[in-house]
Homo-oligomer: A and B are copies of this chain.
């Protein structure tokens, strides 16, 4: 009998696996007597204890019968080779999985990883001291956080801090009972879809929009109705006459164009939602950062009809891999969202929530925000200065002085030439990101979304110099 040990884990387990394979393959058939342990040990150069342990394991699992001493025999198992192993899988995945396959924008999130200058949006690296600070917060919170699963809706201490923050910085007065802590904005979108939308229900998205939100809604089976935006944000006059179920907006800083939704349009949108009895999802992804004035209060702060589902995230202002965000929910939806969160993943991790609650209560979060705001403003200026100096009239810069990214439109470029520019930059170590994936209908001219939260001022200057050289070379090639 040929037995091959696979070299993984303890010897007895390797031997047990090898013997099981022999039984399942049919090399050892029902009733066959296994070699005496002493003999097999000698043959395989193992200790007898090891062989005894392997036999014991096989006996416990029901592969062999009989007792040491009187011999061990292969049990009656009706083993046969797998029926269909050579046949192709014919199973259909769910409609959800099929739609998810279609919505994939392959590799978009990771396309440029490992480049020297990475201008990806949301690639936060603002305060180098944050790693150590956060590590201490985690170690501290680990000491007193109960080991049991936390409250479905989030730790009370964190929900209280979130409410204080929303009141002070975003103009939103809400009770901790209406807060739900979630695993990032993406989960907020997914839960919203689950609670509010059946397959085929209509959802208004801004055009352009954050593509992962679009993907989640399409996979869910929603009918997407894209409404254009201009420099005042969503064009409310173009909202559909037939009631959608949900309108998704980014009022503080339209993603990705950077426009701010004007007050008249905010009021119009709220009246639309009341008239049509639909819900509004306010994604306030970086409303915190505005450099020319105080941050604008959130749309939710104007919402007297309780129809705005507000989503804020810590992933942008702290760091992406934290995966903590929160929703401020209309009273009528609280129970349904809690159910959906519970059924999705029971609750978010407790230690991180406790660490964040303490970080906020202790003033560390506020200090970080002040520092981040200053640093982001300086970086933004460096980026724009670099654009003026090295790209000049070849790009048009748009968006408000806010957030963590700048949008530029490429003058005299079509989409395929823009792709060539992105590819050229990539080869030289510069990660540029096209605006196009954020559109349902590609814009007339190509644009770039330049995130400045991941690079220092020096690196941003160098990146813009490199960007200028790429533009030069594209021009030279054309000439």
Which residue on chain B has the smallest CB distance to residue A320?
B149
CA of A169 to CA of B77, assembled, Å: 24
- Return the CB mask of A217-232 against B: 1 if under 8 Å, else 0: 0010000000000000
CA of A9 to CA of B212, assembled, Å: 34
Q: Taking the complex as formed, is A421 at the interface, i.e. its CB lies under 8 A from any CB of chain B?
A: no
Which residue on chain B has the smallest CB distance to residue A8?
B167
Give the contacts of A120-141 with B (CB-CB under 8 A). 122-125, 130-132, 134-136, 138-141
Which residue on chain B has the smallest CB distance to residue A54?
B294
Chain B residues, Cβ within 8 Å of A82: 270, 274, 304-305
CA of A234 to CA of B138, assembled, Å: 42
CA of A350 to CA of B217, assembled, Å: 25
Chain B residues, Cβ within 8 Å of A296: 60-61
In the complex, the answer to whether A190 meets B143 with C-beta atoms within 8 Å is no
CA of A61 to CA of B233, assembled, Å: 13
In the complex, the answer to whether B97 meets A194 with C-beta atoms within 8 Å is yes
Closest chain-B Cβ to A414's Cβ sits at a distance in Å of: 31
Which residue on chain B has the smallest CB distance to residue A189?
B343
Closest chain-B Cβ to A326's Cβ sits at a distance in Å of: 14
In the complex, the answer to whether B305 meets A83 with C-beta atoms within 8 Å is yes
Closest chain-B Cβ to A205's Cβ sits at a distance in Å of: 15
Given A75-B263, A100-B336, A94 and B198 touching (CB < 8 A)? yes
Q: Which of A85-93, A391-399, A441-449 contacts B (4 or more CB under 8 A)?
A: A85-93
Closest chain-B Cβ to A163's Cβ sits at a distance in Å of: 9
Give the contacts of A182-200 with B (CB-CB under 8 A). 182-184, 186-187, 190, 194-198
CA of A16 to CA of B168, assembled, Å: 11
Given A187-B344, A344-B190, A351-B138, A83 and B293 touching (CB < 8 A)? no
Chain B residues, Cβ within 8 Å of A80: 271
Chain B residues, Cβ within 8 Å of A301: 17, 20
Given A6-B173, A271-B83, A320 and B100 touching (CB < 8 A)? no
Chain B residues, Cβ within 8 Å of A24: 302, 304
Q: Taking the complex as formed, is A332 at the interface, i.e. its CB lies under 8 A from any CB of chain B?
A: yes
Task: Please name 13 pairs of A and B residues whose Cβ atoms are closer than 8 Å in the assembled complex, sorted by A.
Answer: A9-B169, A20-B171, A60-B294, A63-B263, A76-B264, A77-B264, A83-B305, A91-B277, A100-B343, A131-B145, A138-B351, A184-B346, A219-B343
CA of A322 to CA of B348, assembled, Å: 9
- Return the CB mask of A240-281 against B: 1 if under 8 Å, else 0: 000000000000000000000011100110110011011100
In the complex, the answer to whether A277 meets B90 with C-beta atoms within 8 Å is yes
Closest chain-B Cβ to A371's Cβ sits at a distance in Å of: 15
Chain B residues, Cβ within 8 Å of A268: 78
CA of A76 to CA of B212, assembled, Å: 37
- Return the CB mask of A436-468 against B: 1 if under 8 Å, else 0: 000000000000000000100000000000000
In the complex, the answer to whether A320 meets B147 with C-beta atoms within 8 Å is yes
- Return the CB mask of A136-178 against B: 1 if under 8 Å, else 0: 1011111111111110000000000000100111010100000
Picked from B91, B212, B346, the residue with its CB within 8 Å of the CB of A212 is: B346
Picked from B132, B197, B278, B333, the residue with its CB within 8 Å of the CB of A143 is: B132
Copies in the complex: 2
Closest chain-B Cβ to A189's Cβ sits at a distance in Å of: 9
Chain B residues, Cβ within 8 Å of A267: 77-79
CA of A196 to CA of B138, assembled, Å: 37
CA of A144 to CA of B132, assembled, Å: 10
In the complex, the answer to whether A190 meets B142 with C-beta atoms within 8 Å is no
Picked from B57, B182, B278, B351, the residue with its CB within 8 Å of the CB of A294 is: B57
Chain B residues, Cβ within 8 Å of A93: 195-196, 333, 336
Given contacts A131-B143, A135-B139, 4 further A-B contacts (CB under 8 A): A8-B173, A56-B294, A57-B293, A100-B340
Which residue on chain B has the smallest CB distance to residue A192?
B94
In the complex, the answer to whether A190 meets B147 with C-beta atoms within 8 Å is no
CA of A173 to CA of B16, assembled, Å: 13
In the complex, the answer to whether A264 meets B78 with C-beta atoms within 8 Å is yes
5 smallest CB-CB distances across A and B, nearest first, come from A62-B263, A135-B142, A321-B350, A9-B168, A147-B319
Which residue on chain B has the smallest CB distance to residue A337?
B97
Which residue on chain B has the smallest CB distance to residue A292?
B60
Q: Taking the complex as formed, is A40 at the interface, i.e. its CB lies under 8 A from any CB of chain B?
A: no
Give the contacts of A33-54 with B (CB-CB under 8 A). 53
Chain B residues, Cβ within 8 Å of A367: none
